[in-house]
Structure 1
Amino acid sequence: MLDRLHNRGLRIGGILLLTLLSVSSTGYLRPPITQLGLIKIAIALVFMTVIWEMNRLLIGFFLKRYPHRSQVIKRLVWTAPVCFITTCVILVLVSGISSFLLTGRVSFQTRSSDSLLSSATTITLVILGVYEAFRISILLSQSEKEKEQLKIANLQSQLEALKQQVNPHFLFNSLNSLGALIEENPKQAGQFLEELSSVYRYLLRSNEQDLISLTTELDFIRSYFHLLKTRHGDGLELRLRVDERYRSHQLPPLTLQLLVENAVKHNMILPDQPLLIEIATTDEGTVRVANNLQRKPSRIFSNGVGISNILSKYQMLNQPRPTVHEENGQFLVTLPLIKLDS
């Protein structure tokens, strides 16, 4: 705050305001402006500069002595009377010096006591009011900035937590699949392990980013779906229909994986009743993930990582909210694609 007292624009504006107030009632500004009037205006400008600067130094002194917000009242109790007395002394000196410059004689009787006290009070209140208003505006601005920074930090923290939440969930499901496959087909288990390593390399890289291209995410989905297909065989199908225009558009990493995983988790997968998952772009610049509804008869426990995770990611990235609904026997999730400026 102390360095803000040196604000040049504030000082010049304040000095001109005081000068205008001091000469407004004298008639010196009314045309025609005489030479004597100009001299008195110049004298007023000089001495108002002195008064302003002296008060500014005093305000700075007490701000340094009582810098905390809890000390505002104590600071003002000291600042106001000291500035008032200083202003009175300067005004008395101004009377004498002005008298000498204009008449050649020193006289301190040009002001009555009431006029002196009234002028000193007005000047002190103007200067203190300007700097207190300026100080409060700075504090409010800093407070808003701190709130915004805290909000951003909190959102980033939550986003990181969501990213980390995906890792153990995905690993747990993948290892379950691998364990089952080892017993059924050891040879395919080896290939499954290679694909799992490839998938996890992507997972580690994508975890460092908030957004990733649709093309990159689809490449990952193909690898991830290969793992699922190895386990479920003909009971699971994937269909991709992606317009080339949208391949460079962005979306949060692992969003499509969560939706594919969600479909597999909550629906029956049978060779004679396959689960079809379709990922397609639309003319509106979105990507739609759909699967036919064939819910498992027993209720599957959900820890809320899937859909709610995706909604939270879009919200934290300040993007339009994805839509989730059921229609004609299908579960549909529509994700906005994000076009980055070139």
Structure 2
Amino acid sequence: MKKLKLEHILPIGVAVLLPPINVLSHQQDWTFSGEEGLDRWFISTVILWADWYFLFWILKVRFPYKIMLTIISMAVFAIIVASLVHPFLPNTFGEVWFRNDLVFKILAASLLLFLIQYALSSTQKVGKLALEKEQAITESYKSRLMALRTRVDPHFLYNTLNTLRVLVRKKDPNAENFVMNLSQFYRLTLRSRTSVTTTLQEELVTMDAYLFLMNQRMPGNMYFNKNIDDNWFNYHLPTMSLQILIENCLKHNRISSSEPLDINLFVSKKGKLVCTNTLQPKISVIEKSGYGLQNIEKVYELLRVKEGMTIDKTETQFKVTLQLLEDEYINRRR
């Protein structure tokens, strides 16, 4: 809507303001005061307004030898307009030399208007190309993220099904809850896989289902503490971020009854989600799955969020900080 208003206001503004600017810059011996001056101003404004849309049409039409034909068209336009307008000008403009001078002035004005329109057109094209490039990058990231999310980690699936088999064999009362949480986890994961971001509340629900599954596999070996006020629930963060954070903790640290893993999740005073865990790295090298902390960082890059994720590591603690995003910011990026 703003663009449409500018396209209508700009030619009128140029047509109205250019004549008095021309008078002041050339210090002509006449002004726009009085009825005769207003007539000159009105005629000049109409000519410039018509010239603007004539040039606007030329810029839109595609034809060979465009530059040469544009110059010829401007010259023809100037001659025709000068011939049509000359009889209606005040008597002081009745001389033949003024008609030639009028042709020259219209031609000069046409060139100026053409340069203005060409600059605006070039700016719009550059902006359009930049937008298309950004959209292409966005779609590329989305495609890559979707491809990664559709992969089912075979180790996770195998271990989960093996845990379920053990629970069923032992007739454990948690077997039904295990199946329900497994179903909920995959349902939520599949539902959100097409979204670049999800709300913190949705992420917490998915994370709770994931933690239940992990606690059944490693009972008593992991202690999780969550301290998040519900005021932050509607804020956004990259999809599956919390699962990735927990998975990263479990994958890279030793976990046993003698070395339980402590994980803490909270929101800082600066409005950032913080996940910390005790650092007790495994000795063996962990094979990378291709979908970890780096992918969270890529989503923040996609959303043009600087330092969306930061990592701090000490001898005893590993900390990941994620920037929470408001709805307004997410809507602007869509």
2:331 aligns with: none
Shift, 1:229, TM fit: 1.6
2:78 aligns with: 87
Could you tell me whether the CA contact under 8 Å between 1:58 and 1:79 is conserved in 2? no
CA distance change for structure 1 residues 125 and 75 in 2, over 3 Å: closer, same or farther?
farther
CA distance change for structure 1 residues 94 and 22 in 2, over 3 Å: closer, same or farther?
farther
Could you tell me whether the CA contact under 8 Å between 2:15 and 2:46 is conserved in 1? no
* 2:317 maps to 1:330: yes
Could you tell me whether the CA contact under 8 Å between 1:51 and 1:87 is conserved in 2? no
CA distance change for structure 1 residues 286 and 81 in 2, over 3 Å: closer, same or farther?
closer
Cα deviation, 1:32-87, whole Å, max 9, x if unaligned, reads: x6xxxx465355456546754775576466456x426xx5xx22312323432453
Question: Aligned partners of 1:141, 1:155: CA distance in 2, in Å?
Answer: 21
Which runs of structure 2 are paired with 1:176-215 in the superposition (5 Å)? 176-181=158-163, 184-185=166-167, 186=169, 187=171, 190-191=175-176, 192-215=178-201
Question: Aligned partners of 1:272, 1:87: CA distance in 2, in Å?
Answer: 92
Letter in 1 for 2:310: T
CA distance change for structure 1 residues 314 and 46 in 2, over 3 Å: closer, same or farther?
closer
Question: Aligned partners of 1:217, 1:254: CA distance in 2, in Å?
Answer: 7
Q: Which has the larger radius of gyration?
A: 1
Question: Aligned partners of 2:326, 2:46: CA distance in 1, in Å?
Answer: 59
1:111 aligns with one of 93, 96, 117 = 96
Could you list the runs of 5+ residues in structure 1 that have no partner in the other structure? none
Could you tell me whether the CA contact under 8 Å between 1:159 and 1:316 is conserved in 2? no
CA distance change for structure 1 residues 270 and 91 in 2, over 3 Å: closer, same or farther?
closer
Could you tell me whether the CA contact under 8 Å between 1:16 and 1:45 is conserved in 2? no
Which runs of structure 2 are paired with 1:45-194 in the superposition (5 Å)? 45=41, 48=44, 51-52=47-48, 55=51, 59=55, 62-63=58-59, 66-67=61-62, 71=64, 74-88=65-79, 90-91=81-82, 98=89, 102=91, 110-112=95-97, 116-170=99-153, 172-181=154-163, 184-185=166-167, 186=169, 187=171, 190-191=175-176, 192-194=178-180
Match of 1:168, SS state, is coil
Could you tell me whether the CA contact under 8 Å between 2:312 and 2:320 is conserved in 1? yes
Between 40-49 and 332-341, the greater mean CA deviation after superposition: 40-49
2:15 aligns with: 14
Match of 2:224, SS state, is strand
Shift, 1:183, TM fit: 5.9
2:332 aligns with: none
Root-mean-square deviation (CA), in Å?
Answer: 3.7
Match of 2:218, SS state, is helix
CA distance change for structure 1 residues 225 and 167 in 2, over 3 Å: closer, same or farther?
farther
1:291 aligns with one of 270, 277, 290 = 277
Question: Aligned partners of 1:179, 1:280: CA distance in 2, in Å?
Answer: 31
Letter in 2 for 1:322: M
1:28 aligns with one of 25, 30, 41 = 30
Between 217-226 and 144-153, the greater mean CA deviation after superposition: 144-153
TM-score (normalizing by structure 2): 0.77
* 2:282 maps to 1:276: no
Q: Matched residues, percent identical?
A: 21
Match of 2:274, SS state, is strand
Question: Aligned partners of 1:57, 1:214: CA distance in 2, in Å?
Answer: 52
Shift, 1:291, TM fit: 1.7
* 2:32 maps to 1:41: no
Shift, 1:224, TM fit: 0.8
Cα deviation, 1:222-273, whole Å, max 9, x if unaligned, reads: 2211211212223333222334543444323321110111111112222222
Letter in 1 for 2:272: T
Question: Aligned partners of 2:203, 2:136: CA distance in 1, in Å?
Answer: 27
1:240 aligns with: 226
Between 79-88 and 231-240, the greater mean CA deviation after superposition: 79-88
The total of aligned residue pairs comes to 319
CA distance change for structure 1 residues 231 and 49 in 2, over 3 Å: closer, same or farther?
closer
Question: Aligned partners of 1:132, 1:84: CA distance in 2, in Å?
Answer: 15
TM-score (normalizing by structure 1): 0.75
1:226 aligns with: 212
